[in-house]
Amino acid sequence: MTDTPVELIGIDDKTRLEVRNRRFRCIKIVAVQAVVLLALAAAAITYVNWASEAAMAEFLRNGEPTLSAAPQVAQPKQVASGPKQQCEHR
């Protein structure tokens, strides 16, 4: 008997090498995808932090708004009129 695992009995060396190469390529692809995913996640987190810091700095730089900067509310052109009805209170 040889020390060859049961799953590889009858498989020549070339086929074993192809299986190992295929597994190695799959592992490399998964590793590259994981690295790209981590890089994109880090970039997204960095961008969100930068954007929130920039927005906070702009907010603090502007200070409190003055009354002249507040939007003006237009006065109504007509006042609603009609018969006033009393509601029955219980």
pLDDT tens digits, one per residue of 1-36: 455 555 555 567 778 888 888 999 999 999 999 999
CA pair distance 90, 88, nearest whole angstrom: 6
Total domains in the chain come to: 1
Residue 24 included in any domain: no
Residue 13 included in any domain: no
CA pair distance 36, 28, nearest whole angstrom: 12
Which pLDDT belongs to residue 71?
A: 65
Residue 17 included in any domain: no
Alpha-helical runs (H) found in the chain: 13-62
Which pLDDT belongs to residue 17?
A: 82
Side-chain-side CA neighbours of 36 within 13 Å: the count stands at: 6
**Percent of the chain scoring above 90 in pLDDT:** 34
Residue 48 included in any domain: yes
CA pair distance 76, 38, nearest whole angstrom: 57
Residue 27 included in any domain: no
Residue 76 included in any domain: no
Residue 50 included in any domain: yes
- Domain span at residue 54 reads 33-64
CA pair distance 22, 72, nearest whole angstrom: 71
Residue 86 included in any domain: no
Which pLDDT belongs to residue 5?
A: 57
Q: What is the pTM of this model?
A: 0.48
